[in-house]
Amino acid sequence: MPAPGSPSHKRLRIGFLLADRFTLSAFASFVDVLRLAADEADKSRPIRCEWSVLSHDHAAIRSSCGVRVQPDTWLRDAGTYDYLVVVGGLIGDRSAISAEAVAYLRSAAAKNVPLIALCTGVFILQEAGLLQGYRCCVSWFHHQDFVDRFETETPISDQIFVVDRDRMTCSGGHGAAHLAAFLVQRHIGQAAAIKSLNIMMIENALSGERPQPGQRFARHIDDPLVKRAVLRMQQNIEIPKTVDELAAELTVGRRTLERRFQADLARSPQKTYLEIRLDTAMSRLRATGDSISAIALACGFCDASHLVRTMRAERGVTPARYRNAQRGQTGLAADDGA
C-alpha cells in the first residue's frame, strides 16, 4: 500500500505555468486552498495534494506587483498531473509564456490532461488554440480586450469561473480560491474544501455561476453596443468618462448611444454610469473599513459631501447610515459621511 505523501497516494496533483508579470493574488489564492486541503489544520505538508511551478529554464518569474517566484520543476522532468494551471497577468504584445511552455501545454492537451486558466491565462490558452470549441470565462475588466483580440469568440464575463469538460477558466481574484475549492471538493471532499476557505476567512464556497462583482447591469443587457459601453464604465470608476468620450471610443454618435441605452435599459448613459458608481461605493461600504472620503474619491465623486448628497438623493440613505445598517448598528457613525 502506498505510503501517505507518496506520489501514488496523492489525490490531487497540479502543475503551474506562470506568465511573465502574472497575477500574484490569483496564484496565491489557488495554491493556499491546495495547501490547506493537503494536510491537517494548516501544517502545510503536501500529503493529499502536490503542486509544482514548471519552467523550461528555472529563471525566477516576475509577478505584476514585482514579487518573483522561483520555479521548482523543469518542464523536461515534469511528471503526471491531474491539472495544469496557467496563471496570466498583465496583457502585452509579446507572448506571456515561452514557446517551450506552449508546446508542453499542447502536448498535455493531446493526452487529455485538463487545462485551467486563471485571470488572463485565458488569453494564453486561446492564443495557443487550446480553447477552440470551449466556453471560457473572462473578467469583465478584460472583456473588451478579449473581444478585440479574438473577434470570433464570445467570452462569458458574468461568472466567476466556467467549467467546460476538460477546460476550466476563471476571472481571477477570489474566484481562483473558489475554483480551487471546486477541485478539492471533487478529489478530496467537501470538508477539506470548506476548511480551506474558512481558514482563508472565506465563509462559503461559491459555484462558478456566481456573478462577478459589478455585474448588476451587464447581466441584463441585450444590445452589444450598450454592453461595451457599460464595460467601459466599469473600467473607469475613479475618473468617469463623459458620454461624448464613451461615444467617441465606441465610434458612434452621442445621440445614437443615448438612444440605444434608452431602448435596452430604459435609462440614459449618465444615469447608468451613476448607478454603477453608487453600486461600487455601497459595495466598498459593506466590505471595507475605508473612510467615506476615500470611497468617494475611488468611485468618481468629488468628495465625501458629494457622495453623501448623491446617495441620499438616489438611494434614500447616507453612507454612514448604510454602513451601520449593514453592520447591524443602530447609531450613526461619527465620521465624515453622516
Shared-domain flag, residues 39 and 120: yes
What's the domain range around 272? Answer: 218-326
- Give the predicted TM-score (pTM) of the model: 0.73
- Given a cut of 90, whether residue 234 has pLDDT beyond it is no
- 186 plus 65 within the same structural domain: yes
124 inside domain? yes
Determine the Cα–Cα distance for residues 206 and 195; give it in Å rounded to an integer: 14
The answer on pLDDT for 63 being more than 90 is yes
Identify whether 13 is part of a domain. Answer: yes
Considering only 64-73, 168-177, 323-332, which range has the smallest mean pLDDT? 323-332
226 with 310, same domain?
yes
Q: Which three cell numbers stand for residue 115?
A: 487545462
Q: Are residues 169 and 40 in the same domain?
A: yes
Residues 186 and 241 in one domain: no
Domain annotation covers residue 96:
yes
Q: Does 333 reside within a domain?
A: no
- 158 and 227 co-located in one domain: no
- The number of folded domains in the chain is 2
- Type of residue at 264: D
Q: Does residue 7 surpass a pLDDT of 60? A: no
Q: Are residues 146 and 261 in the same domain?
A: no
Confirm if 163 and 209 have CB atoms less than 8 A apart.
Answer: no
Q: Rounded CA gap, 2 and 181, in Å?
A: 25
Would residue 211 count as lying in a domain? no
Which residue among 199, 228, 256 closes a domain?
A: 199
**Residue 214, pLDDT above cutoff 50:** yes
The one-character DSSP state at 205 is -
Q: Distance (Å, rounded) from C-alpha 225 to C-alpha 304?
A: 33
Q: If pLDDT is split at 50, 70 and 90, which confidence band does 232 have?
A: confident
Residues 126 and 259 in one domain: no
Q: Looking up cell 453592520, which residue turns up?
A: 327
Report which of residues 174 and 93 the model is more confident about.
Answer: 174
Q: Has residue 205 been placed in a domain?
A: no
**Closest C-alpha to 104, from 126, 128, 121, 122:** 128
Last residue of a domain, one of 199, 234, 266: 199
pLDDT of amino acid 332? 41
Q: 179 and 72 in one domain?
A: yes
Which of 5-19, 92-106, 109-123, 155-169 shows the lowest mean pLDDT across its residues? 5-19
| Domain-located, residue 208 | no
Which of helix, strand or coil describes residue 2? coil
Q: What is the pLDDT of residues 284-335, one digit of tens each?
A: 898 889 999 999 999 999 999 999 999 999 999 999 999 999 887 544 443 4
- Residues 137 and 244 both lie in one domain: no
Per the domain annotation, does 337 fall within a domain?
A: no
The per-residue pLDDT for 335 is 45
Asked if 241 contacts 232 with a C-beta cutoff of 8 angstroms, the reply is yes
Residue with cell 529563471: 59
Half-sphere exposure of 172 (CA within 13 A, CB side): 21
Whether residue 176 is found in the same domain as residue 237: no
**Residue 337: pLDDT above 70?**
no
* Residues 76 and 223 both lie in one domain: no
Average pLDDT, the chain: 89
The CATH number for 99's domain is: 3.40.50.880
Query: Which CATH number covers residue 314?
Result: 1.10.10.60
